[in-house]
């Protein structure tokens, strides 16, 4: 589980740096930036599947609404980031992907603080 948390942070940082570069250079979101945002969604989904497998395997989940609400929000953010980046062909599409990446990192940081189950 710890590796997936680190992967979310790493991919979020990578996508945020690429997005910031694109915004500064006044570039639209290219396939690398959109692919990074999609990869962020995949890593986030894998983290959710691992937690779901743990819960189905007999783990105790004290607050499933908070946990799976956060996980669903992260997946939908990644989808929205790719969609906006694809259809907004200005630097604002890149800015949307940048905002998604930063928001996903903050969601990952806040999840163990808010969710009573923690990751231990």
pLDDT tens-digit series, residues 56-105: 877 666 777 878 888 899 999 999 999 999 998 888 999 999 999 999 99
Burial code (b: 16+ CB inside 10 Å, e: under 16) for 32-67 equals ebbebbbebbebbeebbeebbeeeeeeeebeeeeeb
Q: What is the mean pLDDT of residues 31-44?
A: 93
- The C-alpha angle 102, 120, 117, rounded to 5 degrees, equals 75
DSSP E strand stretches across 4-73: none
User: Could you tell me which of 119, 111, 11, 117 has the C-alpha nearest to residue 71?
Assistant: 111
Q: Which residues contact 37 (CB under 8 A, 6 or more apart)?
A: 15, 78, 81, 82, 85, 97, 100, 101
């Amino acid at each position: 589980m710890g590796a997936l948390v680190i992967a979310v942070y790493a991919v979020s940082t990578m996508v945020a740096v690429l997005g910031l570069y694109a915004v500064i250079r006044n570039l639209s979101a290219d396939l690398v930036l959109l692919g990074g945002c999609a990869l962020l969604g995949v890593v986030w989904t894998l983290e959710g599947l691992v937690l779901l497998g743990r819960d189905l395997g007999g783990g105790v989940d004290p607050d499933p609404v908070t946990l799976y609400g956060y996980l669903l929000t992260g997946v939908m953010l990644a989808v929205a980031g790719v969609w906006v980046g694809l259809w907004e062909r200005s630097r604002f599409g890149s800015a949307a992907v940048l905002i998604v990446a930063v928001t996903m990192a903050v969601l990952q940081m806040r999840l163990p603080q808010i969710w009573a189950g923690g990751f231990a």
